[in-house]
């Protein structure tokens, strides 16, 4: 399937004139970000389809930078008059007032594809999308009679962007994402327990030719049913083994945000001024990679027009670099790392992760468990919070088990993992060879959300604090 990129709809000479308007008051940089996003969604609860929605957002944001001042304006009017008016407003906000004439020459159009889309979701009937939700509902309920509620949601988005700036950048990207989520509630003697799973990639509706919705729903249902016989989670410090894929969110939150250059510049990161230092176990190599085809954070270009990259942040335990956007890299005389992202044309870009993960180690995952006399095996992590200035975090364990005498035994009720990001990195003493990416996610920062992926192999942390309820 071929998507028509925005360069066929937007005249490049007109863009150059708008960019020149942005610099007309003496600013050193101007930028246009144009976005056309179409999305559909459907939700099911208790066997009934509650909503089917369609939406389209189309507009442009214009950024003008003058010294330390940034002016930003956005508009849904993509005519030249509308864009010029927005450029004038942004220029006025950032004005130095030198009154000079500035010309802009755009480079050749650049586009980097990271995946192919075979079946455009926009061309699939809504009835076919709703049918997926019914499959999920039936499959989850068939797992066990204790299942009392099933909720499922489907959504897809086709996002076309064009970025041009006064440095000559002229680039486009088309990003298609398709996702299905299932939540399940089981009721038993211990009360109600929940299960959740999701499936999403940066591909089209062919996702459901490759992956089974029924199996997805069954996994969520079995998680809820298993927790009906769970015992209270222990309390205190002990070894923790984290299953492959699920722990990526911990590294995203507890470590990744602290490696974003804007937080480093504000002194809000525990990793500030530590490039070249040993900040993790020598087993750990941490990467942020926007080029991972099909993964949820995959992009061809970032939202500032820079080509997506694979950036090694920690190599063999040593901090090697941060993630950069245009403003921070320009100030530091660096090249952007492809991490300038924004929620929509109405938002300014900022430093954001794409797909962040810990690379494979050399241990067999079963051996990691066998080497643990007593501890907790975390099969799925939930949400959490982190203080990037200190690295302290709290994460929920949505599926966990006790490890006794080197074996995974009883399931545990939900509890918390409490720790410190740098300390956890240092305390990883075994790293598996079974790397996997986790569930697709949305990363929130300063009021904006963007799609991200994360992952890791099975690993062991020598000591983390479990916030359970057992005596």
Region 48-55: mean pLDDT is 93
How many CA atoms lie within 13 Å of 246's alpha carbon, on the beta-carbon side? 23
Domains for the chain: give ranges and CATH numbers: 6-227 (3.30.2290.10), 235-467 (no CATH)
Q: How far is CA 203 from the centre of its chain?
A: 15
Token reading at 227: 């927790």
Residue 469 has pLDDT above 90, yes or no: no
Provide DSSP, 208-240.
Answer: HHHS-HHHHHHHHHHHHHHHTTPBPPPEEEEEE
**Per-residue confidence (pLDDT) for residue 115, from 0 to 100:** 87
| Rounded-to-integer distance, Cα 246 and Cα 203, Å | 22
Which stretch of DSSP H or E encloses residue 304?
A: none
Structure confidence by residue, pLDDT tens digits, 392-401: 999 999 999 9
Asked if 121 and 35 count as a contact pair (C-beta separation under 8 A), the reply is no
Provide DSSP, 133-150.
Answer: HHHHHHHHHTT-TTEEEE
**Per-residue confidence (pLDDT) for residue 470, from 0 to 100:** 64
| Collapsed DSSP state (helix, strand, coil) of residue 71 | strand
Identify the band that residue 383 occupies on the pLDDT scale cut at 50, 70 and 90. confident
Give the residue from 214, 297, 3 showing the smallest Cα distance to 123: 3
- Length of the chain measured in residues: 471
Tell me the percentage of the chain whose pLDDT exceeds 90: 85
Q: Which residues is 42 bridged to in the sheet?
A: 52, 154
Token reading at 184: 């399940």
**Per-residue confidence (pLDDT) for residue 332, from 0 to 100:** 92
Helical axes 126-141 vs 213-227, angle rounded to 10°: 30
- Burial class (CB within 10 angstroms; exposed 0-12, middle 13-18, buried 19+) of 247: buried
Region 31-51: mean pLDDT is 95
**Per-residue confidence (pLDDT) for residue 99, from 0 to 100:** 44
Which stretch of DSSP H or E encloses residue 370?
A: helix 365-370
Identify the band that residue 418 occupies on the pLDDT scale cut at 50, 70 and 90. very high
User: Average pLDDT of the chain?
Assistant: 93
| Collapsed DSSP state (helix, strand, coil) of residue 469 | coil
Token reading at 376: 């907790």
**Per-residue confidence (pLDDT) for residue 253, from 0 to 100:** 86
| Rounded-to-integer distance, Cα 276 and Cα 321, Å | 8
**Per-residue confidence (pLDDT) for residue 471, from 0 to 100:** 52
Residue 414 has pLDDT above 90, yes or no: no
Region 345-361: mean pLDDT is 97
Residue 194 has pLDDT above 80, yes or no: yes
Asked if 30 and 104 count as a contact pair (C-beta separation under 8 A), the reply is yes
| Rounded-to-integer distance, Cα 174 and Cα 5, Å | 7
Residue 100 has pLDDT above 50, yes or no: no
| Rounded-to-integer distance, Cα 84 and Cα 82, Å | 6
| Rounded-to-integer distance, Cα 42 and Cα 50, Å | 8
* Beta pairing, strands 191-201 & 235-242: unpaired
**Per-residue confidence (pLDDT) for residue 97, from 0 to 100:** 46
Q: How far is CA 12 from the centre of its chain?
A: 31
Asked if 247 and 456 count as a contact pair (C-beta separation under 8 A), the reply is yes
| Rounded-to-integer distance, Cα 22 and Cα 145, Å | 64
**Per-residue confidence (pLDDT) for residue 366, from 0 to 100:** 98
Region 260-288: mean pLDDT is 96
Please provide the distance, in angstroms rounded to a whole number, between the alpha carbons at the two ends of the chain: 58
Identify the band that residue 96 occupies on the pLDDT scale cut at 50, 70 and 90. low
Residue tagged 């990161």 (tokens): 269
Which stretch of DSSP H or E encloses residue 374?
A: strand 374-386
Asked if 247 and 399 count as a contact pair (C-beta separation under 8 A), the reply is no
Identify the band that residue 98 occupies on the pLDDT scale cut at 50, 70 and 90. very low
Give the residue from 385, 386, 422, 415 showing the smallest Cα distance to 400: 415
* Beta pairing, strands 235-242 & 374-386: parallel
| Rounded-to-integer distance, Cα 215 and Cα 197, Å | 10
Token reading at 173: 């990207």
């Amino acid at each position: 399937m071929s998507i028509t990129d925005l360069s066929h709809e937007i005249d490049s000479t007109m863009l150059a004139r708008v960019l020149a308007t942005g610099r007309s008051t003496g600013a050193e940089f101007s930028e246009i970000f144009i976005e056309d996003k179409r999305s559909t969604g459907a939700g099911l609860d208790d066997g009934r389809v509650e909503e089917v929605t369609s939406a389209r957002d189309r507009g442009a944001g214009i950024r003008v930078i003058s010294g330390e001042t940034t002016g930003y304006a956005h508009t849904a009017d993509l005519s030249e008059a509308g864009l010029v008016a927005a450029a004038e407003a942004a220029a006025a906000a950032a004005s130095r007032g030198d009154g000079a004439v500035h010309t802009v020459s755009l480079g050749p159009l650049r586009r980097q594809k990271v995946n192919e889309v075979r079946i455009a979701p926009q061309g699939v009937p809504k009835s076919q999308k709703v049918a997926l939700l019914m499959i999920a509902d039936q499959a989850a309920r068939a797992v066990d009679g204790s299942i009392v509620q099933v909720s499922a949601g489907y959504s897809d988005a086709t996002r076309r962007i064009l970025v041009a700036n006064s440095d000559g950048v002229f680039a486009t990207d088309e990003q298609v994402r398709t996702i299905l989520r299932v939540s399940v509630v089981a009721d038993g003697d211990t009360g109600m327990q929940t299960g959740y799973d999701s499936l999403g990639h940066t591909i089209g509706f062919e996702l459901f030719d490759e992956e089974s919705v029924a199996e997805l729903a069954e996994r969520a249902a079995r998680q809820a049913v298993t927790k009906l016989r769970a015992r209270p989670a222990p309390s205190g410090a002990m070894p923790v083994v984290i299953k492959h894929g699920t722990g990526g969110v911990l590294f995203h939150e507890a470590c990744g945000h602290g490696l974003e250059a804007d937080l480093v510049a504000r002194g809000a990161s525990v990793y500030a001024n530590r490039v070249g230092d040993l900040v993790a176990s020598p087993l750990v190599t941490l990467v942020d990679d926007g080029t991972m085809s099909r993964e949820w954070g995959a992009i061809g270009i970032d939202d500032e027009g820079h080509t997506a990259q694979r950036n090694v942040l920690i190599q063999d335990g040593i901090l090697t670099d941060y993630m950069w956007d245009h403003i921070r890299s320009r100030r530091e005389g660096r090249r952007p790392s492809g991490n300038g992202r924004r929620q929509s044309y109405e938002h300014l870009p900022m430093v954001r992760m794409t797909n962040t993960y810990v690379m494979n180690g050399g241990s067999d995952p079963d051996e990691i468990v066998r080497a643990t006399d007593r501890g907790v095996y975390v099969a799925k992590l939930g949400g959490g919070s982190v203080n990037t200035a200190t690295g302290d975090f709290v994460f929920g364990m949505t599926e966990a088990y006790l490890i006794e005498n080197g074996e995974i035994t009883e399931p545990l009720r939900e509890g918390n993992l409490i720790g410190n990001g740098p300390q956890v990195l240092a305390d990883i003493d075994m790293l598996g060879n079974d790397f996997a990416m986790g569930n697709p996610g949305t990363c929130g920062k300063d009021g904006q959300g963007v799609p991200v992926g994360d992952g890791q192999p099975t690993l062991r942390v020598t000591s983390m604090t479990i916030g359970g309820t057992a005596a």
